[in-house]
Amino acid sequence: MPRRPAYRWDGKDDIVTFTLGSARISPPVLLAPLAGITDLPFRRLVSRFGTGLVVSEMVASQEVVQARPLARARAELGFGEQATSVQLAGREPYWMAEAARYVADQGAQVIDINMGCPAKKVTTGYSGSALMKDPDHALRLIEAVVGAVDVPVTLKTRLGWNDDCLNAPDLARRAEGAGVRMVTIHGRTRCQFYKGRADWAAIRRVTEAVGVPVIANGDIVDAATARRALELSGACGVMVGRGAQGRPWALAQIAADLFGTAAPVIPQGAALADLVAGHYDDMLSFYGRDLGVKVARKHLGWYLETAGREDSRSAVLTAEDPARVVRLIRAALSSPEREAA
């Protein structure tokens, strides 16, 4: 029998509402953790438009404790930022617990456990979605993290390792028993990577297995796909990843269309150029000039694609001088006839 949900629908606005510690998750439209993409500047920008929760890039548990420079740089995790979750990955209960204590002591409001990343460099280290092949070990990691901290712990997984190992419902049920407060399911197996289409209907087996909030993830890029994912999965909310690339307002637009929240003002023309230039400046400040110029290029490419200005892509992405990059961005995006979609 389906479990009684541990969340409620607001009668007035028909918006699902639940809390994770001090974070009130409403509307239930969340930003997915994307390695190399959802850094602090991007999360702040998405939050400005409005979203229920943003999740940091995946942080390797042992590295963040041992303070390796790269991990420490990525651990600019937005401690104290509103509605922010810190995602940890690892394979050893000791290091996961130590990392959880560290980020909680630094001010993390929510801790998310990554058991969904399909990347070979992660799964060959027996982390990410590889943990779904050994649910007993996965549960030990979950118990270690939950037992180490007082802040809410959530879990992100896939449907299973492959079509012969669709064990997300059982893992979610056991995770709930261990104290996990929310589960996000990407509607693919690990062996699918990002091929084919996300199976939102398969997520329903998880929503019927647990009482904690379940969030649907995978191929959700706009209101139509979000609505269909909710209908098929029975989930209480959605998580958007690649759909936000070049469109930091996408989550707020989905929330407005589905739940009646305030619609975002989607920037066009000179306003879009101002937004992109501001994001670019934030990335340079965050990473430093040399690294920032390189890291920002993928975001600039997505903005140009969204605005229909791929003809300017080569010039913008090969420019090395930040001032020239900004001039090219403004020239490409400010024309009133070239508006963002």
Q: Does the annotation flag 186 for ligand binding?
A: yes
Q: Which residues contact 154 (CB under 8 A, 6 or more apart)?
A: 20, 85, 110, 111, 112, 113, 180, 181, 182, 183, 184
Half-sphere exposure of 276 (CA within 13 A, CB side): 35
Alpha helices in 82-153 (DSSP H): 93-105, 120-123, 135-148
Residue linked to tokens 């969904």: 116
CB 59 within 8 A of CB 35: no
**CA atoms of 330 and 104, how far apart (whole Å):** 41
Residue type, 228: R
Give the residue among 297, 298, 294, 304 at the shortest CA–CA distance from 332. 304
Which of the residues are catalytic? 117
C-beta separation of 334 from 300 below 8 A? no
121 in a labelled binding site? no
| 242 assigned ligand-binding residue | yes
Give the type of residue at 128. G
CA-CA distance, 89 to 66, in Å (whole number)?
14
Beta bridge partners of 185: 157, 216
Whether 298 has a binding-site annotation, put simply, is: no
SS3 158: strand
Copy the structure tokens of residue 64: 């963040």
78 membership: H or E segment, kind and range: none
Per the annotation, does 133 bind a ligand?
no
Task: Please name the amino acid found at residue 285.
Answer: S
Rounded CA gap, 48 and 155, in Å?
25
Taking the alpha carbons of 116, 121, 123, 127 in that order, is the dihedral positive or negative? negative
At residue 267, what is the residue type?
P
* Binding-site sequence positions: 87, 156, 186, 241-242
Q: Which residue positions form the known binding site for FMN?
A: 87, 156, 186, 241-242
